[in-house]
Structure 1
């Protein structure tokens, strides 16, 4: 009898184990690949792509099977048994071919993705492809748009911080290969346009290029005799300039730059005489500008007057060294180690924390812990002790379940006030505003649901929604399975579908940059010695809960400002070193270095940091801005599962202020108000947050003085290098433009005769520091200037 029971038990157990396979057989068994559908797949650009960024997957389909109306998707593993589906609709007739490009993230692991083609719900093709650790952030991508790519392959060396080795990948691009998706373009460090008709780029590609520059990208444009081709797309106000004549220039600057001054032989260059509004000059021969740089947002656009694909550059032994030097001139951040931070990776974790902290209904964990402790104490020692005294211990089987029910009801009602009753979208809006009232909004969204459910979300305006997924793969890369879909990203529709995420998990996405009508922030600010004074008026449509004025050295806490209200800026709240993080951690605007920091402060601090750092660049303050935070609703509802979502907004607005440094015919820029850039720091460690150098080296710094001032007084503040503060082993040289070389300088002030030889035609002052090996940090010196209006 026992033997029969044992066999029956084993049979029942076997059937129970088999049931999931029987019930879900249709979901796990894949259809056979049809032999008459052939697919060729290319990942990245000539199989080059960068870990932590997005890359295109180009799928070439030849269909000899039947007419197909369905989808093509790339399945990207997200965890051990889940994947994200990047999908596009597919309509392809029998006997035809089609190319589909889908942009996907490259995860932090070597993984097998899957290409899947479906006709309706039937899978007719599937194939695994390997995607993974091909290149990391020490590999620099240089995209080249040129009709003569081979002539530019010498631009294969990249500047790097001291002690860091980088390599370069040259990517050949054309109007078809050029990314029109910003998240793909962000994997490039430099884009070069030379001898190429830029008007061939699509409108979407050009908009992507401009956004890429504003977020920290570096664009290098060669002109010369082909300037009409290379500049043909720049017909808007992205670059303002006026081309002149092409002249032959005999210059020693080309060889000088490439050899660090060892070779000063002259060479003839065909150069376009072009004036670029707001630019600074990198290389100049007499009055002729050979290379100019324009800072746009956090990025740089460099215009060379010559063609990089012609002599003397092609076939020259030092052409790679020349390219490396000009890359460093154009964008000094290339020699900063922080440039290797991955904005896509860091952005995901910043945004996830940001939108999660917006939740209004939070459970008080202390109350739950107290209830739990009371329950444990009552159930175990107290109940047992009382029943033992009464000699009724057998009643434990009744009292324990009853108390569990009672405490369950208590916890239910405690938690009922913290539960969501409907779908909520938490929006963190980052708005950039100019003095004319032109506002650009970037929105990050966290979607929270009252229960575990599928969530399909789209924009009413038809905007493309972008999923912000975890760039890391959370699982065993060798045994990654793609059994359960996590998120469906429909590229051609711009919609997202989140599958069965838990109640506690946010569905995180972003809405691309849009222009909105916000109103204006009116400022009447002037200098008062080294500080500022004046007033700020809130002429926007919204009330400000918090308002600040932040300069590169000081900050002013103005408090709440209602719409239509003005507030005075008169007394600074404090000083700092120019690092945004210090404002939030060092008892400045916020003090997050304490366990008692409020959730409100933490969230506002995150907003403040993001308003300065939506780019690949360090978060250092280099302008004077009004910064305001509002809780008013600005965003329109998203469509979630066919209905408008509940919107909870928090918005930060930042507007740079243009100070009036003029009083009558006199202009004055106090200490800290003259911008500088690091020209050459490849041989020294540079910390952009503290604006200091470490270890030995000879960095060069250029100060960009207003071109409209005739400087009569100039002072260098040398406390960090001449021993007035601390003891630093550093000496300073200043560039004498009349002698065309660096000369020693010991004093910190200049008379009017000295100033003439130390400033070039663009009012640039250039210095060089020689830093010793005593290990002390050396602060970048600041300057102040005074003079007459030109």
Structure 2
């Protein structure tokens, strides 16, 4: 019996449906199996640590993140990504490192990210197979976010490499005198391979530690970190050679064995506490190297010595910092407050209670980076003329033409067409100078006087059409968005990232993505290596309490424009100095620093009559730089500054380049010995801006206005006037000018009686000869205690000047 046509159709339909179901089942099985294989391949465990453990991330400093990846699955390669919320944008920024993970392997990856507070809400760690841009996100087993509580910028952070884990713990006692100190005990593996990995440290102490266990990369990183402005402390007594061996060329001393002493009277005097040795105490014997200075000596034996190394210092201590009785001596806080006065002062310059002068420096930079002189909008008169012509065209002229043609009904078509054509014309006219990509950088180079310096840059890129763009920077700089504020803990991640930073062996790639039409992207760049552009030499021909005269020589590789000297709290214009040329200066005609940092506004004034602000870049960059250079008490250390202008380009990974206009502020600190050729010492009052130590005020803020004013709450604070380190100095006269305030009592420290001596401030007073000597502490400082019981008391810090002679 033949099957019917209906049965044949039913059979065929059943087979078709079955085949479809079979295919779908196989695909689903394949998908599930594939997922299982993917899961099997994605068995990656992760452990992460930010900084050096504990809560030691310092605001505004580059901080290392160490991530350990263990691949328990199949071979895998891809991008490890840290995504961070941007407090100033509605998109995040990413740091990316490509990682190869063979099966069963363990890889340690280190990245540098901005130092801020990190929580689960404002960052995440992810891994993408093959690449972040095109790969699949792989599940990580472990903590996939960073967590850290940031330290205030004014905290002095001390890293310690030592045999004894309690070494230098006494430094935390400085917190009782108004300082903020955090001590970190490090291990050899904690030391990074890049100098910027140590950026969050202010001091690195190596005491009785086998420094030869450090790798050559770690030694190089420590050396470069010191040259960038860090303080390297080498100590250990009998163990000094093993602590200092890799750093012998930078050390301030040459080791010559050991000695034993039963007393250290100079150390005891500075610490202002009794120091008893039950048995002889071992110290290393050493000879000062060229250029080094002894900070503290017992007879001819240097106990503490220091030498300049680039923009930083290498300090030597002749004893093991972990040995008693010195390690537990209660005079240590006073002693080490003096030894570390430089780093403490530098940290205090960031005090958040200090009154900042002028606008916030990052807001100044933000505004300057948005200003491209060639991207100015059309002039208002021109736009007004266009609108007037349009009004005439679509008004009486068009009406008359259509009336004459007797086609007034065409107005419904002609008027919209005229409006569209006019709009297109106005748009094209306004966009004639905005059709190509361009970039500009505003940089500072702080020279150290030996031919090199530290470079920091802010960069803005104009993308007329928006979209994506990848830049390539050689030299491996560190890059971040231009952050106007800190990444605060409560900030939330966004769905998209606008900036992606990844490292290659010899370059840093920066991808800008999803940029809106006709937008400007702003970046901050820090160079790992020092830049070598030469130095600025100077001589002082005349020095008095009222000012100075001298000469500046430009020994850099570029011409300097708008050169100036900042000295005695005055800004002295010099003018243009070609490379190799010299120019004279005289502080008599300088711009005094009054009522805040008004120097940038006076040196590069605002425009008049609404004209183009051609001084914006220089004014903003100088304002930002002086804000960073201002010390805790509001003063500015003497320096020479000048400007370099150049043109270059940024390489694109897709090929080609973007032209870039470069403006660089070059500065170099000036070091004075205040000794005339005849051997006379003259230290003007503007050179002695006191440091605030033993601060027990409820509130203190500083304003520099014809001398530093301090707004005080109830309590007391010690003003420490540090004198220049002049060999053989003998001071005969000290003059003090002040604004007496009945709500404030003042005392001077008498180093002979070891007690505070009350004084009544007057508008002018002086001490001479033998009456002066008790108030000179080791000939190196003068201390005044200021006390009030009132709140919101305005007190002008007394201005102190000294005269004397050098003993021949």
- Distance in 2 (CA, whole Å) between partners of 1:288 and 1:396 is 101
Deviates more, 1:402-411 or 1:518-527: 518-527
| 1:713 equivalent in alignment to 2:727 | no
| 1:401 equivalent in alignment to 2:409 | no
Match of 1:508 among 518, 523, 538: 523
Q: Counterparts in 2 of 1:29-178, with a 5 A limit?
A: 33-34=39-40, 37-44=43-50, 45-46=52-53, 48-50=55-57, 53-78=61-86, 82-105=91-114, 110=119, 111=121, 112-119=123-130, 122-123=135-136, 125-127=138-140, 129-132=144-147, 134-137=149-152, 141-150=157-166, 153=169, 155-159=171-175, 170-178=183-191
- Distance in 2 (CA, whole Å) between partners of 1:63 and 1:321 is 49
| 1:652 equivalent in alignment to 2:652 | no
- Distance in 2 (CA, whole Å) between partners of 1:470 and 1:410 is 38
Count of matched residue positions in the alignment of Structure 1 and Structure 2: 741
- Distance in 1 (CA, whole Å) between partners of 2:489 and 2:694 is 41
Say if 1:296 and 1:744 are closer, same or farther in 2 by CA, change over 3 A: farther
- Distance in 1 (CA, whole Å) between partners of 2:499 and 2:37 is 21
Check conservation: 2:734, 2:768, Cα contact below 8 A.
Answer: no
- Distance in 1 (CA, whole Å) between partners of 2:384 and 2:366 is 30
- Distance in 2 (CA, whole Å) between partners of 1:496 and 1:157 is 44
Q: Counterparts in 2 of 1:392-471, with a 5 A limit?
A: 397-398=412-413, 400-421=415-436, 423-433=437-447, 437-438=451-452, 441-460=455-474, 462-470=475-483
- Name the SS for the 1:191 alignment partner: strand
Check conservation: 1:114, 1:126, Cα contact below 8 A.
Answer: no
1:547, distance to aligned residue in structure 2 (A):
1.9
Contiguous gaps of at least 5 residues in structure 2: 1-34
Say if 1:293 and 1:592 are closer, same or farther in 2 by CA, change over 3 A: farther
* 1:679-711 CA-partner distances (Å, limit 9, x unpaired): 724224363856444434140414323423442
Check conservation: 1:465, 1:512, Cα contact below 8 A.
Answer: yes
1:512, distance to aligned residue in structure 2 (A):
0.5
- Distance in 2 (CA, whole Å) between partners of 1:686 and 1:297 is 32
- Distance in 1 (CA, whole Å) between partners of 2:288 and 2:692 is 20
Map of 2:617 onto structure 1: 603
- Distance in 2 (CA, whole Å) between partners of 1:279 and 1:748 is 36
Match of 2:371 among 350, 357, 360: 357
Match of 1:309 among 307, 322, 336: 322
CA RMSD, 1 decimal:
4.8
Scaled by the length of structure 2, the TM-score of the pair is 0.76
1:646, distance to aligned residue in structure 2 (A):
1.3
Say if 1:481 and 1:703 are closer, same or farther in 2 by CA, change over 3 A: closer
Check conservation: 1:221, 1:230, Cα contact below 8 A.
Answer: yes
Say if 1:571 and 1:205 are closer, same or farther in 2 by CA, change over 3 A: same
- Distance in 2 (CA, whole Å) between partners of 1:496 and 1:178 is 27
Deviates more, 1:478-487 or 1:491-500: 478-487
| 1:550 equivalent in alignment to 2:553 | no
Say if 1:673 and 1:514 are closer, same or farther in 2 by CA, change over 3 A: farther
Map of 1:699 onto structure 2: 718
1:382, distance to aligned residue in structure 2 (A):
9.6
- Distance in 1 (CA, whole Å) between partners of 2:188 and 2:703 is 36
1:604, distance to aligned residue in structure 2 (A):
0.9
* 1:72-108 CA-partner distances (Å, limit 9, x unpaired): 3323344898443322222232232222223334666
Q: Counterparts in 2 of 1:374-393, with a 5 A limit?
A: none
Deviates more, 1:777-786 or 1:217-226: 217-226
- Distance in 1 (CA, whole Å) between partners of 2:382 and 2:458 is 32
* 1:657-678 CA-partner distances (Å, limit 9, x unpaired): 4568554442332414755653
Q: Which has the larger radius of gyration?
A: 2
| 1:240 equivalent in alignment to 2:252 | yes
Map of 2:780 onto structure 1: 764
* 1:502-522 CA-partner distances (Å, limit 9, x unpaired): 332224242506555646655
Say if 1:206 and 1:54 are closer, same or farther in 2 by CA, change over 3 A: same
Check conservation: 2:444, 2:455, Cα contact below 8 A.
Answer: yes
- Distance in 2 (CA, whole Å) between partners of 1:30 and 1:599 is 63
- Distance in 2 (CA, whole Å) between partners of 1:498 and 1:564 is 41
- Distance in 2 (CA, whole Å) between partners of 1:189 and 1:31 is 49
Map of 2:638 onto structure 1: 624
- Distance in 2 (CA, whole Å) between partners of 1:541 and 1:642 is 30
Scaled by the length of structure 1, the TM-score of the pair is 0.78
Q: Counterparts in 2 of 1:470-509, with a 5 A limit?
A: 470=483, 480-483=493-496, 486-490=499-503, 492=505, 493-502=507-516, 503-509=518-524
Match of 1:187 among 183, 197, 200: 200
Map of 1:264 onto structure 2: 274
- Name the SS for the 2:136 alignment partner: strand
Say if 1:389 and 1:76 are closer, same or farther in 2 by CA, change over 3 A: same
Say if 1:551 and 1:224 are closer, same or farther in 2 by CA, change over 3 A: same
- Distance in 2 (CA, whole Å) between partners of 1:38 and 1:191 is 35
Map of 2:29 onto structure 1: none
Deviates more, 1:316-325 or 1:409-418: 316-325
Contiguous gaps of at least 5 residues in structure 1: 1-28
* 1:158-186 CA-partner distances (Å, limit 9, x unpaired): 52786x9x6x6653322221234455433
